[in-house]
């Protein structure tokens, strides 16, 4: 074997170890998300996350010094990054705000709501009272930025004349309420395998929600409500 080939062979394991080391934080985040969604924040132990990722507990703490910091990193990776994408999309969008809003909501459902990442919201709703510091973090990192983004879309639609004059913050609450209900259902009763008599899918609900919302939001001639029948 030549000296050059021997050097190449000896460097291969080192390169593989380096690639493994670089991938480790992402592997830990994926393992943590899976366990947090399955068991909840309080019931998940750090050593379980480490074992699922195939590392020691000590290795986990090299990257994330506590379970709280691990959870925050999961939230930033799974949710915060998607909000940042939405902000970027708004900054460069030149067309209809209704089209942008539709894109945002469908993207949110496809990439978050119907995925394991949607289970983070269920965790916060059920455990926030016991972990107020994490609740404040979730509000600052997810709820407030998300609501601010959607409200800005509504404001721009109002300013352009595409949307009628409404309170943007109230419009956001009306918009996201049914969606959050879908997420909570998907990661609670739905995850338990309980079936219902109704046959509609989450996608059908979301489509109808958007249709009804734009009926009230778009600035177009509105038909007067029919008179009430006398009592």
Region of poorest pLDDT, from 15-29, 56-70, 92-106, 185-199? 15-29
pLDDT, one tens digit per residue, over 119-139 is 999 999 999 999 999 999 999
pLDDT, one tens digit per residue, over 15-66 is 545 545 655 899 999 999 999 999 999 999 999 999 999 999 999 999 999 9
Are both 88 and 16 inside the same structural domain? Answer: no
Residue 41 included in any domain: yes
Averaged confidence pLDDT in the chain? 87
Q: Which domain holds residue 90?
A: 75-220
Are both 182 and 214 inside the same structural domain? Answer: yes
Residue 1 included in any domain: no
Q: How confident is the model at residue 187 (pLDDT cuts 50, 70, 90)?
A: confident
Residue 90 included in any domain: yes
Are both 99 and 59 inside the same structural domain? Answer: no
Are both 122 and 206 inside the same structural domain? Answer: yes
Structure tokens of 196?
């219902």
pLDDT at 19 (0 to 100): 46
Are both 86 and 55 inside the same structural domain? Answer: no
Are both 54 and 110 inside the same structural domain? Answer: no
- Alpha carbon distance 35, 43 (integer Å): 9
Degrees to nearest 5, angle at CA 157 with 151 and 163: 105
Are both 100 and 211 inside the same structural domain? Answer: yes
Residue 175: CATH number of its domain? 1.10.357.10
pLDDT at 137 (0 to 100): 97
Q: How confident is the model at residue 101 (pLDDT cuts 50, 70, 90)?
A: very high
Residues in contact with 87: Cβ distance below 8 Å, sequence separation at least 6, in sequence order? 145, 149
**Whether the Cβ atoms of residue 138 and residue 75 lie closer than 8 Å to each other:** yes
Are both 125 and 41 inside the same structural domain? Answer: no
What value does the CA radius of gyration of the chain take, rounded to a whole number of Å? Answer: 23
Are both 167 and 210 inside the same structural domain? Answer: yes
pLDDT, one tens digit per residue, over 158-177 is 999 999 999 999 999 999 99
Are both 44 and 105 inside the same structural domain? Answer: no
Name the residue among 13, 22, 28 with its Cα closest to residue 67.
28
Are both 54 and 133 inside the same structural domain? Answer: no
Residue 18 included in any domain: yes
Are both 212 and 126 inside the same structural domain? Answer: yes
Residue 47: CATH number of its domain? 1.10.10.60
Residue 229 included in any domain: no
Structure tokens of 189?
């009763």
pLDDT at 185 (0 to 100): 84
- Give how many domains the chain has, as a whole number: 2
**Whether the Cβ atoms of residue 10 and residue 19 lie closer than 8 Å to each other:** no
pLDDT at 224 (0 to 100): 54
For residues 135-154, give the mean pLDDT: 97
């Amino acid at each position: 074997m030549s000296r050059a080939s021997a050097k190449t062979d000896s460097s291969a394991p080192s390169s593989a170890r380096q690639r493994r080391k670089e991938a480790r934080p992402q592997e830990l985040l994926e393992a943590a998300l899976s366990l947090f969604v399955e068991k909840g924040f309080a019931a998940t132990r750090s050593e379980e996350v480490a074992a699922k990722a195939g590392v020691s507990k000590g290795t986990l703490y090299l990257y994330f010094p506590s379970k709280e910091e691990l959870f925050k990193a999961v939230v930033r990776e799974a949710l915060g990054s998607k909000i940042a994408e939405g902000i970027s999309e708004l900054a460069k969008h030149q067309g209809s705000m209704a089209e942008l809003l539709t894109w945002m909501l469908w993207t949110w459902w496809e990439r978050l709501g119907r995925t394991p990442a949607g289970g983070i919201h269920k965790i916060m709703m059920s455990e926030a009272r016991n972990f107020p510091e994490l609740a404040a973090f979730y509000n600052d990192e997810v709820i407030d930025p998300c609501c601010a983004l959607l409200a800005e879309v509504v404001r721009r639609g109002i300013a352009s004349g595409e949307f009628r004059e409404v309170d943007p913050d109230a419009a956001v609450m009306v918009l996201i309420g049914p969606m959050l209900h879908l997420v909570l259902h998907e990661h609670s009763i739905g995850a338990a395998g309980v079936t219902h008599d109704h046959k509609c899918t989450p996608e059908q609900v979301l489509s109808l929600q958007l249709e009804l919302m734009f009926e009230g939001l778009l600035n177009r001639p509105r038909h007067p409500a029919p008179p009430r029948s006398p009592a």
